[in-house]
Amino acid sequence: MKRLFVLFIVLVCVNGAVFSQKKSAGQVKTVVIDAGHGGDKPGAVGRKSQEKTLTLQMALKLGKLIEDNYPDVKIIYTRTTDVDITLAERARIANKAKADLFISIHCNSWTNSTPTGVETYVMGLSQSKANLEVAKKENADILLEKGYKDNSDYQGFDPNSPESYVMFAMFQNAYLDKSLDFAGFIQDQYKSAIKTINRGVKQAEIFVLYKTAMPAVLTEVGFISNPEEEQYMMSDEGQAAIVSSIFKAFVTYKSSTEGVKAPAELKIDLKGYKDKSAKKGEEKVKKEKAAEPEKPVEEKPAPVVEKAPEAPTADEPTTFVPSTAQTHVEPPLPMDEPKVAEQVNNAVSAEVQTQPEASVMPVKEQGKQEVVFKVQFMTSGKELKKGAREFKGIADYDYYIQKGTYCYTTGNFNTAREAANYQKEVREKGFKDAFVVAFCNGERISLQRAKEMLENR
């Protein structure tokens, strides 16, 4: 118990220093891409490949995609060759660069070859034994480091000690909302591009995520212990599908975070890449043409009816395993930050001022959707009781659930400016990271979307 208390004191001190670096979100200009394992730490081993090799190949491809489409975004790799980088050093690289996003790429494995699928982790307490086992596996590299017990970076952390994981229960991830957003975007892209089991977004006590002072995810791109999945991850088509999925998730995350539209066209120069969205577009056009009524053919001496050429179709991508039917789940909505809220509010305010008063009618009477603004001030892994001390006196609150996390809001305003003013009061009560969010008929939407809806009234 004494040792646990000492760990807690050290944890508080270290986290205080790390999170003093936190800067206002709103721009995604620096991204750290972490290829899991390396050097004498191969990670999971399949029949024909090693995790460290596959993750490096995909990390480099992902970085190039971002650079090709966003020249102004700085890409930093934790490694570009087969070298050993400690878990603490990976986090230190990201923190030193004051990165806006941390992406760690890994391959999953199990004791038998049956499990398949993709999943993405954010920092948090494991909700199941399986999640904890993944955390132990990813943290196990610490045990391979010489003198790790005396390394102050690890604060006495032992990947195999249940007591060590209690430390994570004392840690509140200031970037959980944004991490959940990005993780959700990744899983949604996987679901549309790869025919395998979508294992969803999960939380676990993963050391490298715990040490990074920014939105961070660790994505498991497949089971190397499954022969078919391993072969897919080794192939050009498989890597192209995986990497392009992470990249497209990044595009969505960046545009929603910055409150701007995503590029109209994306440059995806990957060997083996097949754009399924393009194929769907072709099929849609083909169906629309088939549904059109046939035009009467004018009678001619020798009528000739030409057959319309069929729209070209692309081959189906190589798959991991037979497709598992899943219910479509909309991607998590972006956690917009105060700067974006102020920008949106200025635009909304200008729009309202230009409208003649007589033309303004209640939203419901016009048959349009109602937009309201609130202030999100706290998240929790469980539902809190009314009057709990965590609310710090805020009695008028509500919550919505995102990826198993309870997101608490307060206030109900018609404009972003009113919500932004109230946000200051909420921050003064101790919720320093409170920010403005928007809802439409009870559903969370981005501030950019709220702006567009108000402009179209």
Domain harbouring 374, CATH code? 3.30.70.1070
Residue 359 has pLDDT above 60, yes or no: no
Instruction: Please compute Rg for the chain using Cα positions.
Output: 25
The mean predicted confidence, pLDDT, of the chain is 75
Whether residue 251 is found in the same domain as residue 345: no
Q: 156 and 38 in one domain?
A: yes
Distances (CA, A) of 222 to 54, 118, 195, 278: 11, 5, 11, 25
Q: Mark which of 208, 243, 258 sits at the end of a domain.
A: 258
In a domain, 275, yes or no: no
Answer yes or no: do 218 and 97 share one domain.
yes
* Residue 418 counted as domain residue: yes
In a domain, 108, yes or no: yes
Residue-wise pLDDT tens digits, 283-327:
555 555 555 555 554 544 544 444 433 333 333 333 343 333 333
Least confident of 93-102, 365-374, 438-447: 365-374
Structural domain containing residue 186: 2-258
Mean pLDDT of 44-73: 97
Classify residue 413: in a domain, yes or no. Answer: yes
170 shares its domain with 21: yes
Q: Which of 230-234, 252-256, 409-413 has the highest mean pLDDT?
A: 230-234
Q: Taking the model in full, what pTM does it have?
A: 0.57
Rounded Cα distance between 335 and 375, Å, is 11
| 300 domain residue, yes or no | no
Residue 301 resides in a domain: no
Q: In terms of pLDDT, which residue wins out, 38 or 431? A: 38
What would the mean pLDDT of 225-229 be, rounded to a whole number? 96
3-class SS string, the chain = CHHHHHHHHHHHHHHHHHHCCCCCCCCCCEEEEEECCECCECCCECCCCEHHHHHHHHHHHHHHHHHHHCCCCEEEECCCCCCCCCHHHHHHHHHHCCCCEEEEEEEECCCCCCCCCEEEEEECCCCCHHHHHHHHHHHHHHHHCCCHHHCHHHCCCCCCCHHHHHHHHCCCCCCHHHHHHHHHHHHHHHHHHCCCCEEEEEEECCHHHHHCCCCEEEEEEEECCCHHHHHHHHCHHHHHHHHHHHHHHHHHHHHHHHCCCCCCCCCCCCCCCCCHHHHHHHHHHHHHHHHCCCCCCCCCCCCCCCCCCCCCCCCCCCCCCCCCCCCCCCCCCCCCCHHHHHHHHHHHHHHHHHCCHHHCCCCCCCCCCCEEEEEEEEEECCCCCCCCHHHCCCCCCEEEEECCEEEEEEEEECCHHHHHHHHHHHHHCCCCCCEEEEEECCEEECHHHHHHHHHCC
Of 225-234, 298-307, 365-374, 375-384, which range is least confident?
A: 298-307
Most confidently modeled of 100-114, 126-140, 204-218, 363-377? Answer: 100-114
- Could you tell me if 9 and 130 lie in one domain? yes
Alpha-carbon distance 7 to 155, whole Å?
A: 7
Claim to verify: residue 242 and residue 371 sit in the same structural domain? no
Q: Which of 13-17, 331-335, 375-379 has the lowest mean pLDDT?
A: 331-335
pLDDT of amino acid 436: 85
What are the residues facing 409 on neighbouring strands?
376, 398
- The pLDDT of residue 157 is 58
Whichever domain contains 75, its CATH number is 3.40.630.40
Residue 388: its pLDDT value, please? 87
Does residue 328 sit within a domain?
no
- In a domain? residue 248: yes
Identify which of 212, 258, 238, 231 has the alpha carbon closest to the alpha carbon of residue 104: 212
Looking at the structure of the chain, the number of domains it has is 2
Most confident listed range (122-136, 140-154, 175-189, 346-360): 175-189
- Average pLDDT for 345-360: 35
Last residue of a domain, one of 258, 282, 306: 258
Q: Examine the fold and report which residue of 208, 242, 258 is the final residue of a domain before the chain moves on.
A: 258
- Report residue 281 CA to chain centroid gap: 26
Residues 66-109: tens digit of each pLDDT: 999 999 999 999 999 999 898 889 989 999 999 999 999 999 99
